[in-house]
């Protein structure tokens, strides 16, 4: 296939950064070259055009191209239950989540919903997700199959829960171990797929189940681990009563070998000093989910502490307790959560946390999260001035900060024109606003 030259305003973070505000790289008139599924060059348009005279030009010079976004925590089966009214975490699980998740045992249903789910991701510019399916292996197969069909980087794995969960949504330690291992062998590192061991959260896994998952985590060192941690105070009290022998919530996971790099903990709103320390030592990752924390009234994530302790943080939607698939808006809510605590979260740091910062936390920056040559051509084409209001807001200046903050506060999926995955457009906006 002929090489493609994408001309646009470019914005990305080429390296790991503790200072996104100064380490950002952008081009007012830039270009990337896509060959097959990878980016092979980036630079000023004039230079790139000279070096690649035969590449097919796609002119997006009025628009911005950024890396495809990475959502580090969301629930595939909860796509259809966004915006269910009015409960806190534990009742919300009982009342809405568990009944919905039962449907995913059915292969046809799971496959149909995988299509819906991926379309929502792409419409919002997300090209990689750390995704919770359900306890059923059918839901894992449905997601990996849909992702494989389009060469997308998918990170997911069977949810494990064997206690304090409805009978028809429960497995056992033996089933969790056998199915997780079978699915690792079937999917992990096959194409762009990556497996994540997925105990839902400590209250729904027995000691035996956590132990077998810990064994798999040590046996398969590069698989991900994803779970929830310290989301809500009642939940923490419950964990303490279920595991009185452990020194707090994180120590439950730690005891079973589930705290390490590539372990991604959703929420972490109420960590203790010891837990912050331990997260830093282990270089485990936090997925900060502001819309979900506000929706369920869980609390305000203190991002400043993560910076002080040097714990890797990403931003994530946590759909369906989160209220949008849109990571720019999710950053906007994260900004407000920080405002309430007199803490700072700049637009550039926001973009970093949903692109290169997430890729670095997940040890994937060689392949996603930036526009560097050698990475997969996963990127988005963004029209920040998509409507009358944003046209006016951005008419006098269009710096990266202005653009990102307008995307966070005034925008939605209408600003995403195209989403490319592995060198092919998987989503094109139909209407012009």
Which residue number, 265 or 328, has a Cβ lying nearer to Zn ion?
Answer: 265
Give 173 or 266: the residue with its C-beta nearer to Zn ion.
266
Q: Which of 101, 235, 275, 318 binds Zn ion (CB under 5 A)?
A: 318
Distances 149 to 55, 193, 229, 351 between C-alpha atoms, Å: 26, 11, 33, 28
Using rule CB under 5 A, residue 235 touches Zn ion: no
Is it true that the peptide bond before 320 is cis, omega within 30 degrees of 0?
yes
Q: What 8-state DSSP symbol labels residue 181?
A: H
231 contacts Zn ion (rule: CB under 5 A)? no
The residue behind tokens 């046996």 is 219
* Shortest distance in whole angstroms from residue 235 CB to Zn ion: 12
Using rule CB under 5 A, residue 173 touches Zn ion: no
Q: How far is the CB of 73 from Zn ion (least distance, A)?
A: 6
Q: Do 42 and 10 contact (CB within 8 A), yes or no?
A: yes
In what helix (H) or strand (E) does residue 26 lie, and over which residues does it extend?
strand 25-35
Q: How far apart are CA 383 and CA 395, in angstroms?
A: 13
- As a whole number of angstroms, the distance between CA 25 and CA 415 comes to 21
- Of 31 and 316, which CB lies nearer to Zn ion in the complex structure? 316
- Span from 7-15, 238-246, 317-325, 412-420 in contact with Zn ion (CB under 5 A): 317-325
At closest approach, how far in Å is the CB of 144 from Zn ion?
20
Piece of the chain touching Zn ion by CB under 5 A; list 6-14, 180-188, 318-326, 403-411: 318-326
Write down the least CB distance from residue 95 to Zn ion, Å: 16
Q: What distance in Å separates the CA atoms of residue 261 and residue 193, rounded to the nearest whole number?
A: 18
Question: In the complex with Zn ion, which residue's Cβ is closer, 97 or 419?
Answer: 97
Does the protein bind Zn ion through residue 349 (CB under 5 A)? Answer: no
- Quote the least distance from Cβ 294 to Zn ion, whole Å: 14
Using alpha carbons, list the distances in angstroms from residue 64 to 30, 67, 302.
10, 10, 31
Give the nearest distance from C-beta 201 to Zn ion in angstroms: 8
Picking from 303, 309, 327, 306, the residue whose alpha carbon sits closest to that of residue 317 is 327
Three-state secondary structure call for residue 319 = coil
Please tell me whether residue 322 binds Zn ion under the rule CB under 5 A. Answer: no
Residues 29, 9 contacting (CB under 8 angstroms): yes
Is residue 3 within 8 A of residue 35, CB to CB? The reply is yes
Q: How far is the CB of 184 from Zn ion (least distance, A)?
A: 22
CA distance 189 to 187: 6
Give min distance, CB of 274 to Zn ion, in A: 24
- By rule CB under 5 A, what count of residues binds Zn ion? 2
Residues in the chain: 433
Among 20, 67, 266, 332, binds Zn ion (CB under 5 A): 266
The window from 115-123, 136-144, 218-226, 260-268 that contacts Zn ion (CB under 5 A) reads: 260-268
Is residue 275 within the footprint of Zn ion (CB under 5 A)?
no
Q: Contact positions toward Zn ion, by CB under 5 A?
A: 266, 318
């Amino acid at each position: 296939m002929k090489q493609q030259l994408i001309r646009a305003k470019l914005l990305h973070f080429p390296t790991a950064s503790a200072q996104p505000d100064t380490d950002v790289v952008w081009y007012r008139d830039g270009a990337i070259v896509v060959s097959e599924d990878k980016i092979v060059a980036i630079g000023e348009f004039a230079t790139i055009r000279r070096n690649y005279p035969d590449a097919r030009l796609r002119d997006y010079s009025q628009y911005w191209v950024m890396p495809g976004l990475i959502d580090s925590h969301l629930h595939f089966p909860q796509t259809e239950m966004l915006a269910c009214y009015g409960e806190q975490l534990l009742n919300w699980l009982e009342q809405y989540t568990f009944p919905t998740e039962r449907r995913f045992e059915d292969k046809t249903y799971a496959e149909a919903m995988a299509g819906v789910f991926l379309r929502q991701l792409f419409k919002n510019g997300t090209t990689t997700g750390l995704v919770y399916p359900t306890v059923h292996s059918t839901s894992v197969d449905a997601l990996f199959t849909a992702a494989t069909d389009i060469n997308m980087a998918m990170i997911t794995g069977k949810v494990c829960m064997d206690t304090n969960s409805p009978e028809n949504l429960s497995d056992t330690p033996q089933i969790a171990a056998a199915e997780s291992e079978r699915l690792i062998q079937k999917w992990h590192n096959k194409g762009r797929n990556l497996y994540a061991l997925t105990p839902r959260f400590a209250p729904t896994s027995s000691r035996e189940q956590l132990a077998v998952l810990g064994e798999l985590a040590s046996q398969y060192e590069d698989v991900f681990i994803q779970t929830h941690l310290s989301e809500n105070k009642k939940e923490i009290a419950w964990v303490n009563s279920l595991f009185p022998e452990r020194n707090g919530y994180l120590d439950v996971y730690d005891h079973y070998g589930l705290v390490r790099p590539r372990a991604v903990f959703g929420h972490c709103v109420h960590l203790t000093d010891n837990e912050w320390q331990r997260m830093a030592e282990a270089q485990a990752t936090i997925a900060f989910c502001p819309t979900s924390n506000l929706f369920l009234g869980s609390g305000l994530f203190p991002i400043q502490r993560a910076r002080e302790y040097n714990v890797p943080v990403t931003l994530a939607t946590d759909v369906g307790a989160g209220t949008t698939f849109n990571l720019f808006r999710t950053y906007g809510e994260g900004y407000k959560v920080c405002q309430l605590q007199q803490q700072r979260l700049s637009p550039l740091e926001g973009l970093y946390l949903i692109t290169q910062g997430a890729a670095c936390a997940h040890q994937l920056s060689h392949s996603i999260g930036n526009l560097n040559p050698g990475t997969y051509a996963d990127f988005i084409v963004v029209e920040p001035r998509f409507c009358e209001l944003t046209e006016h807001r951005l008419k006098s200046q269009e710096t990266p900060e202005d653009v990102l903050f307008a995307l966070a506060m005034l925008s939605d999926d209408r600003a995403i024109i195209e989403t490319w995955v592995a060198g092919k457009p998987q989503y094109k906006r139909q209407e012009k606003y």
